[in-house]
């Protein structure tokens, strides 16, 4: 579990306007977001009902079209 220690920038009315995180915390957030994006892409690809071809065959087809 990621532990955060955010600092806030507030306006004159004490409303939070921005957040400040350490670089370490920011990098952890970005890593989690990238992983979630990968999962979402995988899930989307699995929903598409297209012909699946082996990687080797795909590479041969790409090479032959060059």
pLDDT of residue 65: 84
CB distance 17 to 11 below 8 Å: yes
**pLDDT top residue among 7 and 1:** 7
Please tell me the total count of domains within the chain. 1
Asked if residue 5 has pLDDT above 90, the reply is yes
CA distances from 4 to 10, 11, 32, 40 (A): 18, 22, 14, 25
Domain assignment present for residue 41? The answer is: yes
Q: What domain range includes position 35?
A: 7-65
pLDDT of residue 55: 94
Does 1 fall in a domain?
Answer: no
Q: Is the pLDDT score of 66 beyond 80?
A: no
The encoded tokens of residue 5 equal 């220690």
Note the pLDDT tens digit of each residue in 14-56: 999 999 999 999 999 999 999 999 999 999 988 888 888 899 9
- Please report whether residue 27 resides in a domain: yes
pTM (2 d.p.): 0.62
């Amino acid at each position: 579990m990621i532990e955060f220690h955010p600092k806030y920038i507030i306006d004159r009315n004490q409303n939070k306007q921005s957040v400040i995180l350490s670089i370490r915390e920011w990098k952890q957030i970005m890593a989690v977001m990238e992983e979630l994006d990968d999962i979402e892409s995988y899930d989307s690809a699995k929903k598409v009902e297209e012909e699946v071809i082996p990687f080797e065959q795909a590479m041969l087809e790409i090479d032959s079209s060059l």
